[in-house]
Amino acid sequence: MLKAAVIGLGWWGKTVVEMLEGSKSLSVAAAMTRSPGGIAYAKAHGLRVFGDYGAVVRDPALDAVILCTPHTTHFEQIVAAADAKKHVFCEKPLTLTRREAVDAVAACNAHKVVLGVGHERRFDLAIQALRGLVAAGELGTLLQVETNFSQDKFLELPADNWRLSAEEAPAGPMTATGVHMLDLAVSFLGAAERVMVNVATLGSGLKNGDTLGALVRFRSGACALISAILATPYDGRFALFGTKGWAEVRDKTHPDAPTGSTLTVCRKGDLREEKDFPAVPAVRRNLEAFAEAALGGAPYPMPQAEMIATVAALEAIVKSAASGDVEPVEG
């Protein structure tokens, strides 16, 4: 059993605590929080409470940290945990710059600790079925991705919430939703080469932007069209087009209350097949895969090169959103 501390008990930190209840491989034993509400929540769930991150990583009774903290804090927290030989699971995005992602990965490798990232869409059953089709060559040469992750739940957040700030969430919806789709695109198409992005505030009072469209060109020549919106009801889809056919994964409901997804596959001759997949606790599956790797089992199934490639593309998207120009992807 891997014993972990959840760092940050906001909305997502509490979700992680509750998601891991009953896990046989990962136990949340502690939490770091300074808010009265967070402290009360931690005590109600039988967790040791820390107010100082340094004290967490120095505690010999803890094996790992789960970072549910603002994005700009991730890099220093990852390095501090790695230096203390603590395994690290970090919510997305891993960092906001490629340089920090490279250094974070290097720090974990230097101290032989496992690094996991909260890109749980990789653990959806329909996405994994799609990956099997691609591996078997059933879609042929991959040409393009079209994907969308839009919602209006963030309209309920207070205006001063860090998730809406220009510092923590540059490029509007990208760090909230779009980065999940970017990560999936990287996992199928490889490293990106350049990006062109538009961000605007069209349907809300979100000053940092509520509507994003991104065109990402990959080194292979393939492209991804990414849509992310914070001012419309939920839609989630990931479509992949190849020379032998195309396939689309579409969620039935928001991941907060999942009811499964549908995989549609169209082969040459317009032969279409649909298969429904049940909802699975993808967040928990990701965390338990991280725990298994930390305990010496199967390697964590997200290649570190892809962790870095996703952040590199994200950094270029942020630059393009600000400049309005085509921006190269570093690396």
Q: Which amino acid does the sequence have at 327?
A: E
Q: Is the pLDDT of residue 83 over 90?
A: yes
Backbone angles phi, psi at 93, to 5 degrees: -75, 150
Q: Is the pLDDT of residue 196 over 90?
A: yes
What is the rounded average pLDDT of the residues 236-261? Answer: 96
3-state secondary structure of 184: helix
Mean pLDDT over each residue of the chain, to the nearest integer: 96
| Domains of the chain by start residue, with CATH | 2-120 (3.40.50.720), 121-285+310-328 (3.30.360.10)
Helix/strand number for the chain, H first, E second? 9, 15
The pLDDT, as a whole number, for residue 34 is: 92
The pLDDT, as a whole number, for residue 159 is: 84
Q: Is the pLDDT of residue 119 over 90?
A: yes
Rg (CA), the chain: 19
- pTM given for the model: 0.96
Helix (H) or strand (E) holding 152: none
